Structure 1
Amino acid sequence: MMTQLTARTAPPKFTSRVLAGLMGAMLLAAPATAGDLDLDSYLETVREESGLPALAAAVVKDGKTVAVAAVGTRILGKDLPVTLDDRFHIGSNTKSMTATLAGMMVDEGRLRWDSSIGEVLGDDVKGMSESLANATLEQLLSHSSGIPSDNESIGDLYFNADVFDYNLSALRVHLIDQWKTNEITVPDGSPFQYSNLGYLIAGVMIEKTSGTTWEQLIRERIFEPLEMQTAGLGPQATYGKLDAPVGHRIGPDGTVTPMLWGPAADGPQVIAPAGNAHMSVVDYAKWAGWNAGAGERGPELVSADTLQQLHTPKVVTPIRKNPPPGTPGTGDYGFGWGFVEFDWADKPLMTHNGSNSMNLAKIVVDLDRDLAVVVMTNYPGTTADEAAGKVMQHLYEAYAE
């Protein structure tokens, strides 16, 4: 049994290597407004103040990573320094990748934005409620279908013994079959309800029309074209190794347990389309930079029209007080992206948070400036959310001019 550590235990100080090159290009000098920013030192200060095990961040401008660093340790209280190649979990930030896969299916004529669940999955899931069958891909990707946020009954479907009897694609269909008779209702006012189940169903629609598993598609059509060599799915660390910053679970009494490998180290894999990707900060910067370029740079994963659809707000997000870290609390929502007015930016920015309750990641994209910032940590909760948000704001302000 691993010894539990208190939440107040301060990890030892470590700093990362400075990145000398990325994809064959020299690390660019920071713009004048970034001044003498030493990202390693800055992240280390924030990490120590917040008591985080590890903290990583990157800034991408005009397709070039202009600043990147990773500091801290893979396990709270242990002498296991992180590196720039270390994999961090991005949680629900995977949703923008699932939405992009859906966009590929639209471009190929396999799906339409208004394709309904019943139209695509009716032969595999017979007897769906009329309201569920009528929900569309566009509604699923924008959390506006009427499918509710995770609750106890939905959670029971994620965590059950059926996982031992099915491949993941079949397990997802089986899960929908178990939930199919539920009637769904769009709330009065904003239709927005943050729904992991909705993204699971969108993932099944992608699998059905492509004839390929979601897991294969995200590797072959996003990770590989963008040369995201560290990107993978599930828990960050290789089974039996401590080769990545592992997530940490905070108990009700404040004790902290590093979650190393196995099922407890990530959310259930059946909901992977809603959020189970991991990758290094360097590789996550590639995804951020590709989106910030708004299709002006390769690779051409989707058409320009489809990318614009992905980057366009669809529904208003009602204000939510104290939303769980990793879920939106205000703004608008598109397909896998939120659009938020921050008090430190001159216009709404494209953004998302991700957390599997053991890790946390943030991304913000300014399409007009071709600028993006990513922040990642292997720690959950409000403290991590506030620290990562502080870093995101600081780096955006430093490089936005």
Structure 2
Amino acid sequence: MKKIITLCFTLTTTLMLAQNTQYSKIIDSLLQASIKENHMPAMAAAIIKGDSIFYGTAGTISNESTEKVTAKTLFHIGSNTKAFTSFLAFQQIEEEKLSLETPFFALFPELKTDKNSAYHSITLKDLLSHNAQVQPFTAGEEFLSLKISAKTAEAKRIEFAQQVLAKPTTEKGTYSNAGYVLAAMMIENTAKKSYENLLEDFMKQQNWEYSFGFPNKKNLNNAWGHWVENNKLIALPPTHSYKLEDFMLSAGDLSMNIVDYAKWLQMHLKGFHTETGILKSENFKKMHFGIDNYGYGWGNAVQGTQKLSFHDGSTGTFYTHAILIPENQLGITIFANAADEKHVEAVYKMQQQLIAYFKKIANSNQNKH
């Protein structure tokens, strides 16, 4: 996950909903300039301020298409899926079916052997905060040693766990996709329902559009991922062999559109300040800031007196960046359907441009009063 760029700003104004179109047009123009300058197929962005969401889009679903992206176009959010996994875990915690201190092997004693004794004390807390010392499984070659023969994703996770827990430990704090697969196993064990069905239930309750896997596999008019081959940006069609294993969904294989993802971030911001009935406020705070540097599905930092929560997600063909400043009820997120180094730099440059523009608006509105 890319280290957060320093943010030093304060927004105190409430942006009026009537100005939504005006602000969205500005975001559109900023995004359009960025994709032109950086030779990117498309970007989408949203700013959340209190009860208001302002968003913009620019570009086409792929560099081989004239189909423009819209606010409803799905992008792959990669590892930002981990926040959903953490959320589902905290739902189970509130129902008193799980706790952060629940040991993994208390739920899966049949997987406990002398060969994996180094992992015998790992808990849900360790898995969600990347402190269980399990191997990362962030690179494709790590999967080559696996032998998975089960038919369902739920059964595949069991086979995956058996093999992961037979491997040597890593250092505490090692970012681990595998850890989030084990966490998903704990969630579905206590919920008596598959991780996939739990996530589907939540998304449908919110009436949010989504897909599991790359979004153009669901609909050709969703965003296509891109990577660089022979110095050329290539669009990956839905038939391309590159995909994530279905049993890895909980670590990073969800796709959403910019509006619904912004509503997800807004849910977290509101959860810091009031009881929403979705999750207790204390648990929203714990999820983001329960442990320094990386809580449960979210990174965090303190700059001056301001606490920031953030996460980036990428599978190498898309890039998603999200940052929350709960004190100001402010959030920013940016999607891109390319993730080369220069494209990631463009995402962070866009973050700064959006901050500068809305700071200007805030100052202007303050001067009027």
TM-score by structure 2 length?
0.85
Secondary structure at 1:60 match in 2: strand
2:201 maps to 1:224: no
In 1: Cα distance, 2:301 partner to 2:346 partner = 18
Query: Whose helix fraction is larger, Structure 1's or Structure 2's?
Result: 2
> Could you tell me which of 39, 61, 80 is aligned with 2:27?
39
Contact 1:226 1:299 in 2 (8 A): no
* Aligned mate of 1:162, from 148, 160, 172: 148
1:57 aligns with 2:36: no
The one-character-per-residue Cα deviations of 1:45-72 (angstroms, maximum 9, x if unpaired) are 011111110000011111321x211110
- Ranges of 4+ aligned residues in structure 1 off by more than 6 Å: 34-37, 151-154
Q: Does the CA-based 8 Å contact 2:226-2:234 persist in structure 1?
A: yes
**CA distance in structure 1 between the aligned counterparts of 2:141 and 2:134, rounded to whole angstroms:** 10
Query: Alignment identity in percent?
Result: 24
Alignment correspondent of 2:216: 237
Q: 2:295 corresponds to which residue? A: 334
Instruction: Note the C-alpha offset of 1:254.
Output: 2.3
2:118 maps to 1:131:
yes
Matching residue's letter, 1:312: F
1:145-202 per-residue CA deviation (whole Å, 9 max, x = no partner) reads 1123237797226x86636x420000010111123323425x3xxx311000011110
Structure 1 match to 2:7: none
Change (3 A) 1:73 1:302: same
Measure the CA separation in 1 of the matches of 2:113 and 2:207: 40
Match of 2:165 among 171, 174, 180: 180
Residue 193 of structure 1 aligns with which residue? 174
Root-mean-square deviation over aligned CA pairs: 2.7
Deviation (angstroms), 1:295: 4.6
Partner Cα distance (2:23, 2:272) in 1 = 30
Check conservation: 1:47, 1:72, Cα contact below 8 A.
Answer: yes
Contact 2:134 2:164 in 1 (8 A): no
Say whether residues 1:275 and 2:252 are aligned partners. Answer: yes
- 1:40/1:88 Cα in 2 relative to 1: closer, same or farther (>3 Å)? same
Equivalent pair of 2:76/2:254 in contact (CA under 8 Å):
yes
Alignment correspondent of 2:69: 82
CA–CA separation in structure 1 for the residues paired with 2:355 and 2:180: 29
The whole-number CA distance in structure 2 between the counterparts of 1:351 and 1:120 is: 31
Q: Per-residue deviation at 1:346?
A: 6.6
Q: Which residue type is aligned with residue 286 of structure 1?
A: K
Instruction: For residue 126 of structure 1, report the CA deviation from its aligned partner.
Output: 5.3
Whole-Å separation in 2 of the counterparts to 1:339 and 1:83: 30
| Matched residue, 2:6 | none
| Distance of aligned partners of 1:272 and 1:127 in 2 relative to their CA distance in 1, 3 Å threshold | farther
User: Counterpart in 2 of 1:255?
Assistant: 232
Alignment pair present for 1:96 and 2:83: yes
Q: Normalised by the size of structure 1, how large is the TM-score?
A: 0.79
Question: In structure 2, how many angstroms separate the alpha carbons of the residues matched to 1:394 and 1:225?
Answer: 34
1:383 paired with 2:338, answer: no
CA distance in 1, matches of 2:333, 2:179: 25
Q: Provide structure 1 residue ranges, at least 5 long, that are not aligned to the other structure.
A: 1-25, 316-331
Whether contact under 8 Å (1:43, 1:55) holds in the other structure is yes
Match status 1:114 vs 2:92: no
Partners of 1:109 and 1:263 in 2: how far apart?
43
